[in-house]
Chains A and B, each alone.
Chain A
Amino acid sequence: MARVDQAESEHVDLEPARRREILQMDEDLGRMNHFEVLGLPPGASPAEVKQAYHDASLKYHPDRFFQKNLGSFGPRIARIFKRLTEASTALTDPEKRRRYESLHPELFRVATPPPPPPEAYHPPEPTRAAERRARLSKHPYLTKAPRSAELMSRARRLRSEGEYDEAIRDLQAASRSAPQDSEPRRMLEETRNRQRFERSAQELKRGGAAEAKGDLELAAGCYCAAAELDKRTPTAAAKAARVLKALGKDLKLARELAERAVAMQPLNIDYRCLLGEILAECGMRKDAKAQFEEAAKISPDHPKVKSGLKKARWLF
């Protein structure tokens, strides 16, 4: 703080208000994330980032202070501008943005606003509803309705027995026969998902068995399939990434899978380390280092973190 006081009383070509602003910004740099540096809400779009960066540049680019007596403010301004550039690049370059997201998923959660609630359903007035029903009862299509209900109940039964394929077939028929009814479609979707998760679990099991037997190729195939089928949980993705890395094959896919796992569980130290190791193997040492550093924040003494950080250095 003493240095700041000193800086405030320095003889430089800057207005007192401007000085305080620069001092404050410089002070805060370390604490702020990329969005905060640019004065943006978390998850701001690349276009917003660019605009904010340009606006901030007008305030902090060293050329705005060309040949002015700046004293200790010179380095401060340079530092602020560099930080602004760093934030802007990290958030506008798609590749870098994705990476920053995998490091700090919490900053992007809010990025996609929740879908607007479905329009409230206004039940028709009772008299009009009765009239409508009477009119519809004369319609020939309506005779299909009981059939649809029958199909639905059979599908439910089949589904509970694990006969997903047949349940899906019934549900498809039901939604065809009653296209205006959303229930069969919703259920169809749900059943398909359930089937996928079930299959994913099976693939995962198969992969586990293959890995135990030492057949890494098969295990990788199974895990990848499992990860593809079930995108809700990080387990399969992480396992697939780990085996792919062990095989040294398809590192790009491995990286993506590991990134997905990290994005879903940012605080899982194993996932972070795995991603770091894969990045290192891809030759992206800088990114690897960033991951390990992030991991070190969670658990600095983890052996994997330590060895990872060590490997991320360069040899002279």
Chain B
Amino acid sequence: MADRDAVIGIDLGTTNSVVATVQGDQPMVIRNRTGQNLTPSVVAISKNGKQLVGQLAKRQAITNPEGTVYATKRLIGRKFSSEQVTEALKVLSYPVVCGEHDDIRVRLGDKDISLPEISAKVLGELKLDAEDFFGQSVTKAVITVPAYFNDGQRQATKDAGKIAGLEVLRILNEPTAAALAYGFGKNINGRIAIFDLGGGTFDISVLEVSKGVFEVIATGGDSYLGGEDFDHRILEWLVFGFAKEHGADLRKDRMALQRLKDGAEKAKIELSEIKSATINLPFICTPPGGGTALHLQRTLTREKLEELTADLCERTLSITTQVLEEAKVKPSDLKEVILVGGMTRMPRIAEEVKKFFRREPCKGVHPEEVVALGAAVQAHALTSTQAPVLLLDVTPHSLGVAIAGGYARRLISKNTTVPTSCTEVFTTSKDNQTTVKIMVLQGESEIAHENELLGEFCLTNLRAALRGQLQVDVTFDINSEGIVSVSAKDQETGQEASITITPSGGLTEDELQDIMAEQEDLIAETTESEDTAAKKSELSELVVQVEELFPQIKEVLTDSVFGTDALKRVEKTLNTARKALGAKRAATVSHSIDQLTRTLQMFKTLQERAGVIVE
């Protein structure tokens, strides 16, 4: 067991991330190096150019709003031009720009950084925490994503794992992970529902569990419905109230916005415990016409919060109704309802869930840690020989192709257990049509363009024939990794064309390679930086000393037989040392130090001898 690779499960959350593993057949959370179970998913570049991740980054967010990146999970794998992104950007305090393929980049300092890179920094931090815990390097991980993430978002998350130096064994759905953690080691038989309202997303899944087999029956959700939206409602309420009173729009000031966001989140959390919370933000801004600074102080009651967010709560329930319908399950058929995600701590949510399912939701799991624990269970199940659990997961979105008239024809409907495959016969719609273009779509709409386009390819050089005469078999295949491949085959000639869908999470393969190469340098730099800095100063001192002595020594040596050769060598060493001063690698620096120390030693001996001679 000891020499088996350490494997971890990571819940890469919108607001917080958690890393866990299975030890002695029990899943457990690995604490981060500051002793916390939860690591904020925040990355920052401080004013002095230092990179901060987690709690440290979150702590300085208020004073450094433009250099602090948070909640990237809401943007990852999305198109810059999409409606949700445009909407989300309005309240972001950090600057975001459009990348080359309509992807999203964060401008930090003078660099534009892709979102997978940002997430990779959080993952890298968790990886280090795990390595600290195991005392060995950790490379294999299962990472969770909201069940309702589409292919692009999943791929982007996978890329983030790769950049962080992790081999991503599986991208796992969060509610499924929660179910695994809940059911692990218990003898459960029956149907359970997972209600997961997290920082950024909402998911609901229904599973059937028997003898360690966890079969997902149906899943659904909204990847834009979570704690952030609740915070935003409070923020808006504060901003409008303030504008009414003082006539100033606080959203124009990034720092004020960050403070408001912080205050809103704190008030929301407090209201889960107490009936009313005071938001106190002194010196929030200076009035438009000048004068003394304005303060913001308001009291938010639990009732007011519930009123502000009633429609969000409603939305979770309407999605739940729909998913139960798809699962063909009545609330009374369920054995257990499990609440996951920090937002389910809100009393109103817990109450509405209880009312809907007509039962007390399960309190046995830690809503913020259970997902990571489940990811660890799955990582363990995949890598161990006698796994006690097996997960039968489903595809959360339907897959199909575009057909004549701009419609979409679904081949694999959502909630189909993966791996799966499906073949259907298509035919040409025009006479003498020699090419068919196969556009692979993901989504539920009957109208082709309302779905996500995963990829497209052509089957060319078809036999010229009347419409409807050619027969083309189109086969969809999803493997257990969730990778989709599509092939088309002309029945008559056997001619084939196919693609494997590797949706770009915003990064092309080349870009990913570049980042990873760069990342290697960066990792070396960041881990050895302090050490290196000390060595560099030592080296530069040596260089100065050698340079000072050099003219004297030259004089002495030119007379000797072996002198010219030695001088050349010294010059060479000096050159390498000067270069090493600009290098990033600590090893290069130490090497030069060694060389120069020896040179200096030699110089000193020579000097002594020369001194003797002179005297």
A contacts, CB < 8 Å to B? 50-51, 53-55, 57-58, 61-64, 66-67, 78, 81-82, 85, 89, 93-94, 286, 310, 312-316
Residues facing A in B167-211 (CB within 8 A) are 169, 208, 210-211
CB <8 Å contact, B428 and A316: yes
Known: A63-B381, A94-B328, A314-B427. A50 touches B210 (CB 8 A): yes
Residues facing A in B126-153 (CB within 8 A) are none
CB <8 Å contact, B428 and A315: yes
CB <8 Å contact, B419 and A316: no
CB <8 Å contact, B471 and A313: yes
Of B391, B404, B419, B424, which is in contact with the most chain A CB atoms at under 10 Å from its CB?
B419
By a CB distance below 8 angstroms, the chain A residues around B382 are 63, 66-67
Known: A57-B392, A316-B429, A316-B436. A62 touches B419 (CB 8 A): yes
By a CB distance below 8 angstroms, the chain B residues around A286 are 424
CB <8 Å contact, B403 and A315: yes
By a CB distance below 8 angstroms, the chain A residues around B381 are 63
Q: Which residue of B lies closest to A88 (CB)?
A: B417
Q: What are 7 residue pairs bridging A and B, where the CB atoms are less than 8 Å apart in the complex?
A: A57-B215, A62-B419, A82-B420, A314-B409, A314-B424, A315-B426, A316-B438
By a CB distance below 8 angstroms, the chain B residues around A66 are 169, 382-383
CB <8 Å contact, A64 and B404: no
A81 to B477, CA, bound (A): 13
By a CB distance below 8 angstroms, the chain A residues around B409 are 314
Q: Which residue of A lies closest to B470 (CB)?
A: A316
CB <8 Å contact, A93 and B479: no
Q: How many residues of B contact A (CB 8 A)?
A: 40
Is B588 interfacial (CB-CB < 8 Å)?
no
Q: Which residue of A lies closest to B418 (CB)?
A: A85
By a CB distance below 8 angstroms, the chain A residues around B405 are 315
Residues facing A in B376-434 (CB within 8 A) are 381-383, 387, 390-392, 403-405, 409, 416-417, 419-421, 424-429, 433
Is B375 interfacial (CB-CB < 8 Å)?
no
Q: Which of A64, A82, A310, A312 contacts B421 (CB 8 A)?
A: A82
Q: Closest approach, in angstroms, between the C-beta of A187 and any C-beta of chain B? A: 43
Is B553 interfacial (CB-CB < 8 Å)?
no
Q: Which residue of B lies closest to A62 (CB)?
A: B480
Known: A58-B390, A66-B382. A315 touches B427 (CB 8 A): yes
Q: Which residue of B lies closest to A66 (CB)?
A: B382
A286 to B422, CA, bound (A): 11
CB <8 Å contact, A316 and B403: yes
Known: A63-B381, A67-B383. A58 touches B213 (CB 8 A): yes
CB <8 Å contact, A316 and B426: yes
B contacts, CB < 8 Å to A? 169, 208, 210-213, 215, 328, 381-383, 387, 390-392, 403-405, 409, 416-417, 419-421, 424-429, 433, 436-438, 467-468, 471-472, 479-480
By a CB distance below 8 angstroms, the chain B residues around A62 are 419, 479-480
Q: Closest approach, in angstroms, between the C-beta of B215 and any C-beta of chain A? A: 7
CB <8 Å contact, B426 and A78: no
- Contacts across chains A and B counted by CB atoms under 8 Å: 83
CB <8 Å contact, B404 and A316: yes
Q: Which residue of B lies closest to A50 (CB)?
A: B208
By a CB distance below 8 angstroms, the chain A residues around B208 are 50
A204 to B175, CA, bound (A): 56
CB <8 Å contact, A64 and B387: yes
Q: Which residue of A lies closest to B214 (CB)?
A: A54
CB <8 Å contact, A313 and B383: no
A313 to B401, CA, bound (A): 13
By a CB distance below 8 angstroms, the chain A residues around B404 are 315-316
CB <8 Å contact, A313 and B429: no
Seed contacts A63-B480, A314-B409, A316-B403; 15 additional CB < 8 Å A-B pairs = A50-B210, A78-B419, A81-B419, A82-B420, A85-B416, A85-B417, A286-B424, A313-B425, A313-B468, A314-B426, A315-B426, A315-B427, A315-B428, A315-B467, A316-B429
By a CB distance below 8 angstroms, the chain B residues around A94 are 328
Of A55, A64, A66, which is in contact with the most chain B CB atoms at under 10 Å from its CB?
A66
CB <8 Å contact, B419 and A82: yes
Known: A63-B390, A78-B419, A315-B403. A57 touches B428 (CB 8 A): no
A51 to B211, CA, bound (A): 9
Q: Closest approach, in angstroms, between the C-beta of B37 and any C-beta of chain A? A: 28
CB <8 Å contact, B424 and A57: no
A82 to B417, CA, bound (A): 9
Known: A57-B390, A61-B392, A81-B419. A316 touches B437 (CB 8 A): yes
Q: Which residue of A lies closest to B424 (CB)?
A: A314
Q: Which residue of A lies closest to B420 (CB)?
A: A82
A211 to B434, CA, bound (A): 46
Q: Which residue of A lies closest to B213 (CB)?
A: A54
